[in-house]
Amino acid sequence: MITIYFAAGQSRWQNYEAPLRTALAEAGIIADLSPDCSDPAAVFYIIFAPGGEIEDFTPFSRCKAVLNLWAGVERVVANPTLTQPLCRMVDPALTAGMVEWVLGHTLRHHLGMDRHIINPSRHWEPTCSPIAAERPVTVMGLGALGQACATALQQVGFPVRGWSRTEKQIPGLTTHHGTDGLKAALTDAKTVVLLLPKTPATENILNMETLSFLATGAAILNPGRGHLIDDLALLAALDSGAIGHATLDVFRTEPLPQEHPFWSHPRVTVTPHIAAETRPNSASRVVVDNIRRGEAGQPFLHLVDRDRGY
């Protein structure tokens, strides 16, 4: 019998208890799974979400892994008391949700859908959009989410460039990496999708200088993290028309404060951090697979590199 502490909050427990118990039974794991913990030293695995019960991991002396329910780990990775392996969430259903959000919002801008959905003057202007092959897209971040989105965009017909920290070769994509590859990745892009993690190295990656590399009137989609964009530089580029539109799902402060200029800017669409969420049924299988691996002495999947910060 192994002890698993669900330290991701009572409200999530309502949604996760049944899928986790099902996944544990399917994996043949006999476990004491609970949202309460009276003896931290007895806990083998912690299922974790930021804002939950744990700030100090020190008492969990026998814990083999902390299994994060979120893809992003910026709120736990730098916790100095966390010495146990930290695994992040790579959930097929979360990835599918992100692909749909990115495809939908890319096609909205590409097809100029707003012109026809909101047309109170009944203006008849039969102008077709170019086809996707004529509209280069750049995906910043080629991890679990970025690669899936880049591949889906490429399958629709967009020429896709990707940018990552380390060199990558992905069939059908043109790839760039590192600081030296940033300008080549962004130059003349008509759409930029940000799927980078929040680390010191990615702060303000879109700023006055890098925004100027994009094609005039480009669209920016940010389902990554709010800090990736210098907000003031973006607002200035939107005001001047250098950037045509920004669809933003994540912000430096969430919920986005009522007085923030993004809410009222005619070239900004705000979505409330809903691009993709972890889904209990599939995520429970991911978590339990890592517990099974831990018990079998196999390496954990989706391990976070503390030094890299993601």
Ligand X SMILES: NC(=O)c1ccc[n+]([C@@H]2O[C@H](COP(=O)([O-])OP(=O)(O)OC[C@H]3O[C@@H](n4cnc5c(N)ncnc54)[C@H](OP(=O)(O)O)[C@@H]3O)[C@@H](O)[C@H]2O)c1
142 binds ligand X (CB under 6 A): yes
Q: Which of 19, 35, 141, 244 is close enough to bind ligand X by CB under 6 A?
A: 141
Beta-sheet strands, E only, within 123-270: 137-140, 160-164, 174-177, 191-194, 218-222, 243-248, 268-270
What phi and psi, each to the nearest 5 degrees, are found at residue 275? -55, -45
Report the run of H or E that residue 261 belongs to, with start and end: helix 261-264
> What is the spatial distance between Cα 36 and Cα 243, in angstroms, rounded to a whole number?
50
* Residue in 110, 225, 227, 302 annotated catalytic: 225
Position of minimal CB gap to ligand X: 143
> In angstroms, what is the minimal distance from the CB of 186 to ligand X?
12
Q: Which amino acid is at 169?
A: Q
Q: Which of 201, 232, 301, 303 is close enough to bind ligand X by CB under 6 A?
A: 201
| Active site annotation includes 225 | yes
Scanning 18-26, 106-114, 163-171, 251-259 for contacts with ligand X by CB under 6 A, the matching segment is: 163-171
210 binds ligand X (CB under 6 A): no
Q: Which of 64, 109, 110, 165 is close enough to bind ligand X by CB under 6 A?
A: 165
Per CB under 6 A, which of residues 267..286 are in contact with ligand X? 273, 275-276
Number of chain positions touching ligand X (CB under 6 A): 29
| Phi-psi label, residue 229: left if phi above 0, alpha if psi -120 to 50, beta otherwise | beta
Q: Do the Cβ atoms of 229 and 238 come closer than 8 Å?
A: no
> In angstroms, what is the minimal distance from the CB of 43 to ligand X?
26
249 binds ligand X (CB under 6 A): yes
Return the number of the residue (3 or 222) whose C-beta is nearest ligand X: 222
Per CB under 6 A, which of residues 30..89 are in contact with ligand X? 71-72
DSSP string, 67-106: EESSS--TTTTT-TT--S-EE----HHHHHHHHHHHHHHH
Residue with tokens 């909050």: 9
Q: Which of 38, 166, 169, 253 is close enough to bind ligand X by CB under 6 A?
A: 166
| Active site annotation includes 273 | yes
Q: Do the Cβ atoms of 173 and 162 come closer than 8 Å?
A: yes
Q: Which residues are catalytic?
A: 225, 273
Q: Which residues bind ligand X (CB under 6 A)?
A: 71-72, 94, 141-146, 163-166, 195-199, 201-202, 223-225, 249-250, 273, 275-276, 310
